[in-house]
Amino acid sequence: MRRNNRIVIAALSAAMLLTSSVGAVQAQVGSEDRANQEYVWISNWSSLPLFTERVYPALEKFAEDYNVNVRIAGPSSNDLASFIATVSQECAKGEAGPAGIIVVGGWDPALTEEVNKCIAAQVPTVVTDGDLFLSDRLTYIGTDWYQLGCRMAERQIAEHEERGLTAGQVAVISPFNIENMERSKDCIRATLEGTGIEVVAEEDNQSNAEVGAQKVAGIINAYPDLTGIIGLDSEAGPGIVAAVNEATNAGTIAQNELILTTNEAGREYLENVKSGLISMVTMENYDIMNYLALFMLYSFNNDAIRIAGIDPWQVNWMPSSIDSGLFLVDETNVDQVSEYMEAAAAG
């Protein structure tokens, strides 16, 4: 994974250097006159393990490679109002503020208005990890959530077939009223159509593991023929695991009876794959999306690329969106992934 990332980054860096002559700024990448540039990554619940373990290292590596400052901002707890306020405050600084901002957009569509204000103030802003489709962001770099839903459904089908099940009932746990999650569910339904596997319940976990556990407990009681559960956001998995373990201990369901496919929730969470409780975990390529997002902001802020010589604020050269891909973790590779993450944490 690391080697592939280096290849992508090297190619992008070469492209930037080749096109730098068309911009107004002629300083070299990493030069001292750019050392005071500050880029800010902003998210709700910024202390989540999947951020500290997967996002932070990429931000730190970019700062080292390009000799700039990268700051982490946003509430450490689940506080959407504070998150939105942080975006607003950073962009209100205008030219005196950050050289560029990354907004983790998957939390709520209410962020759309704040991102639009950032762009109106000419603060370069990109969105990662959940698009804000109606915003004026320069680009979206992150997971294609429709494809994430497809991968979840495909794994459910494969596991049902492996267990000799010709029919099944699955539930989907995710936050509601977020377009990224709705796209995932669209592909889940489309992929399962005609397979004999039916989505019998969709519940809102409000991006909260405890709420999700309560909802899953209710689903297990309501659907005695349930065969699988899909968890789409980072808090769905822990909630599902808690409820399933409780039901198993109570004798309501058998050990590993349900087919569970979830999104990632940190290094320790992978132990559930090793134990056989979870069939597959989707890992978003956070290292790629965030390093690339900073690269795009750095190029934009330093006027490295222009289309026909026109100011990039007049003609935005960034692609509308960039799919950073998914990595699927199951019993075949979980040990390798865990060893890598343990070594990275120790280092």
| Torsion region of 93: left, alpha or beta (phi above 0 gives left; psi -120 to 50 gives alpha) | alpha
Task: Note the pLDDT of residue 96.
Answer: 87
Q: What angle do CA 34, 37, 39 make, to 5 degrees?
A: 140
Residue 14 and residue 252: Cα distance in Å, rounded?
A: 58
Strand order in the sheet with 69-73: 69-73, 38-42, 100-104, 125-128, 140-142, 321-323
The domain 2-143+285-326 having CATH identifier 3.40.50.300: the answer here is no
Task: Note the pLDDT of residue 23.
Answer: 41
**225-244 pLDDT per residue, tens:** 999 999 999 999 999 999 99
Residue 135 and residue 114: Cα distance in Å, rounded?
A: 9
In degrees rounded to 5, what are phi and psi of residue 281?
Answer: -120, 130
Rounded percentage of the chain residues whose pLDDT exceeds 70: 92
Rg (CA), the chain: 21
Give me the mean pLDDT over the 65-75 stretch.
97
Residue 79, CA distances (Å) to 46, 66, 74 in order: 10, 32, 9
In the chain, CATH 3.40.50.2300 sits at 2-143+285-326, 145-283
Least confident of 10-24, 69-83, 223-237, 288-302: 10-24
Task: Note the pLDDT of residue 29.
Answer: 75
Give me the mean pLDDT over the 335-343 stretch.
93
Sign, CA torsion 7/65/106/337 = positive
Give the tokens for residue 198: 């039916």
Residue 103 and residue 108: Cα distance in Å, rounded?
A: 11
Q: What angle do CA 60, 288, 269 make, to 5 degrees?
A: 85
Would the pLDDT of 52 be above 60?
A: yes
3-state helix, strand, coil in the chain (%, to 5): 50, 15, 35
Average pLDDT, the chain: 92
Residue 79 and residue 283: Cα distance in Å, rounded?
A: 24
Least confident of 31-40, 103-112, 141-150, 279-288: 31-40
Give me the mean pLDDT over the 154-180 stretch.
97
Task: Note the pLDDT of residue 147.
Answer: 98
Q: Would you say 211 and 233 are in contact if contact means Cβ atoms under 8 Å apart?
A: no
Q: Would you say 101 and 68 are in contact if contact means Cβ atoms under 8 Å apart?
A: no
CA nearest to 61, candidates 347, 286, 287? 287
**8-27 pLDDT per residue, tens:** 444 455 444 434 434 444 56
Extract the runs of DSSP E, i.e. beta strands, from the chain. 38-42, 69-73, 100-104, 125-128, 140-142, 168-174, 197-204, 228-231, 259-263, 280-284, 321-323, 326-329
In this prediction, residue 346 has a pLDDT band, given cuts at 50, 70 and 90, of confident
Would the pLDDT of 152 be above 90?
A: yes
Would the pLDDT of 1 be above 80?
A: no
- Which residue bears the tokens 């939390």? 107
CATH architecture, domain defined by 145-283: 3-Layer(aba) Sandwich (3.40)
Quick check: helix, strand or coil at residue 275? coil
Q: Would you say 200 and 169 are in contact if contact means Cβ atoms under 8 Å apart?
A: yes
Q: How far is CA 134 from the centre of its chain?
A: 18
Residues 6+ apart with CB under 8 A from 162: none
Give the tokens for residue 58: 């990429």
Q: Would you say 40 and 103 are in contact if contact means Cβ atoms under 8 Å apart?
A: no
Would the pLDDT of 97 be above 70?
A: yes
Residue 125 and residue 116: Cα distance in Å, rounded?
A: 9
**108-121 pLDDT per residue, tens:** 999 999 999 999 99
